[in-house]
Amino acid sequence: MALSAAIFGTGVSGLCAGVELCKAGHNVTLFEKAGEAAIASCSWLAGGMLAPWCEAEHAPNDVVTLGQEALSWWCDYTPSFQRKGSLVLTPARDRQELTHFARRTSHYEWIDEEALSALEPDLSGRFSKGLYFAQEAHLDPRQALLDLVAWLKEAGACFETGTTKVPCDVKGDFDHVIDCRGLAAQDVRDDLRGVRGEMLLLKTSDISLSRPVRLLHPRHPLYIVPRENNIFMLGATMIESNDRRGVTARSMVELLNSAYALHPAFAEAEIVDMQADIRPAYEDNIPRIDERQGITYINGMYRHGFLLAPAMAMQLAGRLKM
């Protein structure tokens, strides 16, 4: 007999969990506090880089291993998935940053100016050396989240948006209750902390890129992820804070300066969106699934929601089968 599952939160954690539980034959209901699924989540602001090998620069091996599962998972759910690799560059004066990055990562090749021009013609002549991670991928997070919502509806999952409930309110009504509320779960979990992230969306037809580019800098590292319709996602700050204000002037200037350093064409770009949100993280910056008083928690995605939510969702489906 099919079991019923209530999932709280329709960010990337809740939606991926919903997909895997539907596939496992559960009757899934997703509860979301906002009036619409996905759009009020921290996930809505993500860059959408699926870059497990680059993340090894600062993340433990678990992130690299689990993150590789995302590469095959996402390609089944969103046409916005693209596997074109990613680039890591730095201005000549910060070359030691590139060497340091290379020492801590794997699955890249060093490229020279000519190879860079072949990959990204618009960056021709601007950088003489770089790292190319050919197996990495990216997606458009907003499109990907909406694609998951559509998949879930098609699969028969129910959505209860605008809810005022919290997971413990529905404990007796479902076989399983899963809390994927991101930072909102701080109301019951004092082991969660917030890491503020700010991002901008720029629009310009003066430059085109085919893949995410990271620009290393000792103080303001930046990445740019290209999207459809001449849109570029520019991110992201990492600030130990639960501060939910909008993007600060300082962060905006630093992000834009770095974009300009990558290519002056960004100076004339239109800023079409600018937002900040708080990434949910545990002390070790590694997500986990655990259970407390009859509620299962998937949380602590930190800066790896799109990279790690598929693996966590598959683990959840495996656990609930037992």
Ligand X SMILES: Cc1cc2nc3c(=O)[nH]c(=O)nc-3n(C[C@H](O)[C@H](O)[C@H](O)COP(=O)(O)OP(=O)(O)OC[C@H]3O[C@@H](n4cnc5c(N)ncnc54)[C@H](O)[C@@H]3O)c2cc1C
Rounded to the nearest 5°, which phi and psi values hold at 225? -115, 120
User: How far apart (Å, rounded) are the C-alpha atoms in residues 66 and 59?
Assistant: 12
Q: Which is nearer to ligand X, 117 or 151 (CB)?
A: 151
User: Does 189 help bind ligand X (rule: CB under 6 A)?
Assistant: no
CB neighbours (10 Å) of residue 89?
24
Complex with ligand X: residue 36 or 175, whichever CB lies closer: 36
Least distance CB 319 / ligand X (angstroms): 17
26, 142, 176, 181: residue in contact with ligand X (rule CB under 6 A): 181
Binding test (CB under 6 A) with ligand X, winner from 6, 11, 87, 316 = 11
Question: Does 8 help bind ligand X (rule: CB under 6 A)?
Answer: yes
Any contact of residue 32 with ligand X (CB under 6 A)?
A: yes
Return the sign of the alpha-carbon dihedral for residues 118, 120, 121, 123. negative
Q: Quick one: which of 21, 22, 46, 63 contacts ligand X (CB under 6 A)?
A: 46
Q: Is 179 in the site for ligand X (CB under 6 A)?
A: no
Tell me if 66 contacts ligand X by CB under 6 A.
no
Helix ranges (H only) for 168-282 are 249-262
Structural contact between residues 132 and 87, judged by C-beta atoms closer than 8 angstroms: yes
Query: Does position 197 bind ligand X by CB under 6 A?
Result: yes
The two beta strands, 213-215 and 86-89, are: parallel
User: Of 12-20, 94-102, 106-114, 251-259, which segment contacts ligand X by CB under 6 A?
Assistant: 12-20
Residue choice 18, 48, 52, 194 for contact with ligand X (CB under 6 A): 48
Cα 128 to Cα 249: distance, rounded to the nearest angstrom: 32
Stretch near ligand X under the rule CB under 6 A, chosen from 10-18, 77-85, 127-135, 170-178: 10-18
How many residues lie near ligand X (CB under 6 A)? 40
Q: Is 43 in the site for ligand X (CB under 6 A)?
A: yes
Query: What does R_g of the chain's alpha carbons equal in angstroms?
Result: 20
Q: Closest separation between CB of residue 259 and ligand X, Å?
A: 14
Instruction: Sort 263 into a burial class: Cβ within 10 Å, 0-12 / 13-18 / 19+.
Output: buried
CA distances from residue 56 to 35, 126, 196 in whole angstroms, order as listed: 37, 26, 21
- 12 lies in the site for ligand X, by CB under 6 A: yes
281-310: contacts with ligand X (CB under 6 A): 301-307
Stretch that binds ligand X, among 30-38, 101-109, 169-177, 265-273 (CB under 6 A): 30-38
* Cis peptide upstream of residue 70 (ω within 30 degrees of 0): no
**Cα separation, 47 vs 235, whole angstroms:** 7
Q: For strand 231-235 and strand 193-203, is the pairing parallel, antiparallel, or unpaired?
A: antiparallel
Work out the number of other CB atoms within 10 angstroms of the CB of residue 219.
6
Determine, following the binding rule CB under 6 A, whether residue 42 of this chain makes contact with ligand X: yes
**Bridge partners of residue 278, in order along the sequence:** 196
63 belongs to the binding site for ligand X (CB under 6 A): no
Helix and strand tally (H, E) in the chain?
8, 17
In the complex with ligand X, the residue whose CB is nearer, 128 or 163, is: 163
Residue span binding ligand X (CB under 6 A) among the ranges 40-48, 72-80, 150-158, 253-261:
40-48
In the bound complex, which residue of the shown chain has the CB atom lying closest to ligand X? 11
Output 4 or 117, the one with its CB closest to ligand X: 4
Among positions 45, 111, 178, 222, the unique one binding ligand X when judged by CB under 6 A: 45
User: CA 67 to CA 168: how far, in whole Å?
Assistant: 31
Encoded amino acid at 151, one letter: W
- Positions that interact with ligand X (CB under 6 A): 8-14, 31-34, 40-43, 45-49, 163, 166, 180-182, 184, 197, 199, 235-236, 277, 279-280, 301-307
